[in-house]
Structure 1
């Protein structure tokens, strides 16, 4: 169900999935060491962890839904920006009203496949009730409104506003826990989608070049209005400053992900500094490489 794109492909989906799984596995309680607790203390620790992580660690279905969402989030991605799908007036653009076209299509295709009669037994094992199916669908839907650098400014603003309401304003206890869980999951998925920007420099470089290549090929094919060569260096700095670094800080701020949040932020800061120093040269080198490949065809 994944196309042979340079960036939006099954390998990228697998990378995002592994990031989600890693962050979920790093969720920690404030100070507990379960290996040193007796049965009563362990029960108390479990409750503390449930509260500290807003119930995420106590809900296997939620964790599965996060992993499932990562796996499907770019299914059938065409390898061109949503803006081009709208400009070309494609059927998909019309179907989704020009909003997060590729992302909504991915969710619908994957959910449609899971709903096929061939997977009845699988569905009954994973989510036998309507409430459980709605829970998975709701989390999967969080991938359907734009993510990473393709997410619209409006959706980013709405996410930021929801974060402020959940973690800054005083709200009823029950509502607060549910709202915080929802927002943490949303930011977990967003961070995992751009996990390469918060990992080692060579990982960041690999996926950065792949995305540049995908967009450059789209431009060459007349399916993108902008040549990435003209904006990639400065655009990447802006993306790191305005999206990646704030996202990494929020992972740390929510206090759920232990040392992983520090790792994400530290790598993002280092990658930003390294890109500022070497990015222009890297873009020039990639452009030359792609131009030579085009001439060699």
Structure 2
């Protein structure tokens, strides 16, 4: 995310609060991940799926854990911020983390394409995003891109993360088989 948000084309586009929210959202977007997909949690009637009504189950859980931690006095680094700044920060983080739900992938891409076509990006290397909705849409696309960027990393890092993800998928498949459920294809 840092590489994306530091792009010269985005210089001055985002407020300091939005940049900080983007970095924070990137850091917490998978906090306390149980190692199962949203669909598995929904299909297995898990406590998380019930708690979040089958909607972006993991993403809502990551957000809840992160914001619960911020309520701890020794973890709340936003104490000097105004109520309005805290609310704006929270809203931006929530919108960004929810965009990492893979079920939103196609609509996220379609919305970004529509926005780019509507703006008719000129030959200028500077992007003009003067409305919050445009900025959050770009931030959502950026966190989604960063979340899927594993294949772009140095090969050893890529392999390490790839092995972890595959292990999660195998473990989930074993659980599905053990429970007599349909084994999802990833």
TM-score, length basis structure 2: 0.79
Superposed, 1:1-297 pairs within 5 Å as 20-25=1-6, 27-29=7-9, 49-50=11-12, 55-56=13-14, 59-120=15-76, 122-125=77-80, 128-145=81-98, 147=100, 151-152=102-103, 155-169=104-118, 177-178=130-131, 179-221=133-175, 222=178, 225-226=182-183
SS at structure 1 position matched to 2:8: coil
**Does the CA-based 8 Å contact 2:31-2:65 persist in structure 1?**
yes
**Does the CA-based 8 Å contact 1:99-1:145 persist in structure 2?**
no
Name whichever structure is richer in helix by fraction. 1
CA distance in 1, matches of 2:161, 2:18: 28
Structure 2 residues without counterparts, runs of 5 or longer = 121-127
Structure 1 residues without counterparts, runs of 5 or longer = 1-19, 31-48, 236-297
**Does the CA-based 8 Å contact 1:21-1:67 persist in structure 2?**
yes
Larger RCO: 1 or 2 (CA < 8 Å, sep 6+): 2
SS at structure 2 position matched to 1:64: helix
How many residues are paired up? 175
Question: Structure 1, residues 169-194: CA drift from partner, whole Å, max 9, x if none?
Answer: 259xxx95323322221111111112
CA distance in 2, matches of 1:162, 1:117: 39
**Does the CA-based 8 Å contact 1:196-1:207 persist in structure 2?**
yes
Structure 1 residues 146 and 181: CA distance shift in structure 2, 3 A: closer
TM-score, length basis structure 1: 0.52
CA distance in 2, matches of 1:161, 1:74: 24
CA distance in 2, matches of 1:207, 1:84: 21
Q: CA deviation at 1:63?
A: 1.2
CA distance in 1, matches of 2:83, 2:166: 42
CA distance in 2, matches of 1:156, 1:220: 26
CA RMSD of aligned residues (A): 2.7
CA distance in 1, matches of 2:147, 2:9: 25
